[in-house]
Amino acid sequence: MQDWPLWEVFIRSRRGLAHKHVGSLHACDAPMALANARDIYTRRSEGVSIWVVRSTDIIASAPGDKPILFDPSEDKVYRHPTFYEIPDEVDNL
């Protein structure tokens, strides 16, 4: 028999925080994925809200693309406030 589809689970642990990936599970449809996520990942009030997404629906960047995607930002230090020299006497900047 084939495995049930794989789902990724995201949990908001408290109001005011973003949903965070906590793991994955198998379920044959969305309501079952939610029910299983509740049982597997929130047995000790770890969450106030759950998202489940089919793993196949997630588009991920490849680790090999890391230099192309992220290296260019490393030489753009002027994007950070510490790049600019401001005299000590000047406040609120």
Partner 1 sequence: MYSQFVDTGVERMRCAEELPELERAFQDKIDSDIKIEPKDWMPEAYRQTLVRQISQHAHSEIVGMLPEGNWLTRAPSLRRKLILLAKVQDEAGHGLYLYSAAETLGASREALIEALHAGKAKYSSIFNYPTLSWADVGAIGWLVDGAALINQIPLCRCSYGPYARAMVRICKEESFHQRQGYEIMLALCAGSAVQKRMAQDALDRWWWPSLMMFGPPDAESIHTQQAMRWKIKRHTNDELRQKFVDQSVPQADYLELTLPDPALKRNEQTGHYDFGAIDWSEFWSVLKGDGPCNRQRIATRRQAYDEGRWVREAALAYGAKQDRRRAEFS
What residues make contact with partner 1 under the rule CB under 8 A?
A: 1-6, 23-29, 32, 39-40, 43-44, 60, 62-63
Structure tokens of 58? 């997630």
Residue 8: CB minimum distance to partner 1, A = 10
For partner 1, give the closer residue by CB, 64 or 81.
Answer: 64
Judged on CB neighbours under 10 Å (0-12, 13-18, 19+), 28 is exposed
Residue 76: CB minimum distance to partner 1, A = 24
- Alpha-carbon gap, residue 15 to 13, rounded angstroms: 7
